[in-house]
Amino acid sequence: MNIRPRRNRVSPGVRAMVRENALSPQNLVLPMFVQGGEAVRTPINAMPGVARLSIDLLVEEARAAYNEGVSGVALFPVIPDALKDQRGTESLNDNGLLQRAVRALKSELPGLIVITDVALDPYSSDGHDGVVIDGEIHNDETLPHLAGMAVAQARAGADVVAPSDMMDGRVKVIREALETAGFTKTLICSYCVKFASAFYGPFREALDSAPRAGDKKTYQMDPANVREALREVALDEAEGADWLLVKPGLPYLDVIRAVREATSLPVATYHVSGEYAMLKAAAANGWLDYDRALLESLTGFRRAGANIIFTYGATDAAKLING
């Protein structure tokens, strides 16, 4: 018995020296929900600890995350029904909620990476990521709207625009529109491999953005597929994406690994609302230790090959890592 793997686990010091992957606050992005008004905080039922925030409170929560070393925030606006229409026109408004939130964050916290979501759903009266025509999500009709939306976000000061809509060809039109408008330094984080998942439930409650009819299966990917992900990777690389994101996270660790091996671009993943809700629900029942389960989940993403992790637990995790 002279081969004893346990020797490498003998003490905290040895374990630290042989640890293969590290999780740092720098890897983390905090997704946040922004709403109108002032000093308003509306909790989200299925996401304890997460709330829809007015811009003033958003800046304060973002500051707390940034002070713990969290790299960035990903913003999602809560748009009142009265401002929603079929084409998401409000998304182009330079004085719209999201654009104002971006400006506030960049002026208060210039070093914080501000990531904005490009998809019609928060603005769409149909609750779909694309334009609905005769009951169908129309790909090519959607593209110019996405491009306009990305430019409006870049104009407000977004560092990274993140198309999450899964329309074909959108990275290309967004990249071209950004170049034409002179935003040559704006990054594109493509939600390259996004599955039609049950785990987005709490998010749709938060934004009241669930599809009014049908589902998202004609644009988001079938959870059974991984080869198809590599096709999306090749296209988004060719179209000019800077980061490739896989979403959700935990049920798709093998997809993160496959994407990691297929590209030299940074790989991101999104630990989505339903994944966060599961941890919180189990912890509330005393069935799981939230802190440890959170760090273990996020470390799993690093091991699978993700550089960047979007998680509602970003500030919690950063505090735990910083001790």
Minimum CB distance to ligand PBG, residue 117 (Å)? 5
For residue 182, the minimal CB distance to ligand PBG (Å) is: 26
* Residue 217 appears among annotated catalytic residues: no
Shortest reach from residue 118's CB to ligand PBG, in Å: 8
Choosing from 84, 194, 216, 280, which is the catalytic residue? 194
Q: Is 244 helix (H, G, I), strand (E, B) or coil?
A: strand
**SS3 state of residue 319:** helix
Alpha helices, DSSP H, located in 209-305:
227-239, 253-262, 273-284, 290-304
Minimum distance, C-beta of residue 1 to ligand PBG, in the bound complex (Å): 49
Phi-psi map region of 51: left, alpha, beta (phi>0 left; psi -120 to 50 alpha): beta
Q: Where are the beta strands (DSSP E) in 120-266?
A: 131-133, 136-138, 160-163, 187-194, 243-247
Q: Toward ligand PBG, which CB reaches closer, 112 or 207?
A: 207
- Nearer Cβ to ligand PBG (108/251): 251
Residues that bind ligand PBG (CB under 6 A): 117, 119, 121, 129, 164-165, 200, 203-204, 216, 272-273
- Catalytic option among 84, 106, 185, 247: 247
The SS3 call for residue 231 is: helix
**For residue 193, which amino acid is it?**
V
Q: What share of residues in the chain are helix, strand, coil (percent, to 5)?
A: 45, 20, 35
- Catalytic residue list contains 84: no
Question: Given the complex with ligand PBG, which of 269 and 273 has the nearer CB atom?
Answer: 273
User: What is the set of active-site residues?
Assistant: 194, 247
